[in-house]
Amino acid sequence: MSLSRGHLIIKAAECKGCCLCIEACSVHVIKLSGRLNQMGYKTAEYTGEGCTGCGICFYTCPEPGAITVFKGWDKWENKALCPVCQLETNVYAARNGDEKNVCTRCLNPIS
């Protein structure tokens, strides 16, 4: 089981590479990737381990929708086949009103 209490997805298409999330993360689990997005920005990415789920990066990022933080990752066990990823992935019940499950890899809804 992962020791991470949180999990993080950064949408490369929304990221402007400003590094505010990298500077804000107290456990240093976000880094700049070597990849450029379609706008030519070097994008931030999760290192893959150690997120506490504090949400500071989410509140720091000036780009709406760029960062999604999943809390309680160490307790999350629901899995399903994501039709987009074509992989068995963790699913998370979105609490934004429609109560749909989302793939925690690509954020697409899973029924």
Positions in the binding site for ligand SF4 (CB under 6 A): 6, 8, 10, 15-21, 24-25, 27, 29-30, 44, 51-57, 60-61, 63, 66-67, 69
Question: 60 vs 80, which CB is nearer to ligand SF4?
Answer: 60
- Would you give the DSSP letter of residue 106? T
Rg (CA), the chain: 14
Question: 17 vs 109, which CB is nearer to ligand SF4?
Answer: 17
- In whole angstroms, the minimum distance from the beta carbon of 1 to ligand SF4 comes to 17
Q: Which helix (H) or strand (E) holds 34?
A: strand 30-36
- In whole angstroms, the minimum distance from the beta carbon of 36 to ligand SF4 comes to 13
Question: 19 vs 36, which CB is nearer to ligand SF4?
Answer: 19
- In whole angstroms, the minimum distance from the beta carbon of 27 to ligand SF4 comes to 5
Q: Any idea what the Cα angle at residue 68 is, between residues 64 and 83, rounded to 5°?
A: 110
Burial class (CB in 10 A: 0-12, 13-18, 19+), 97: exposed
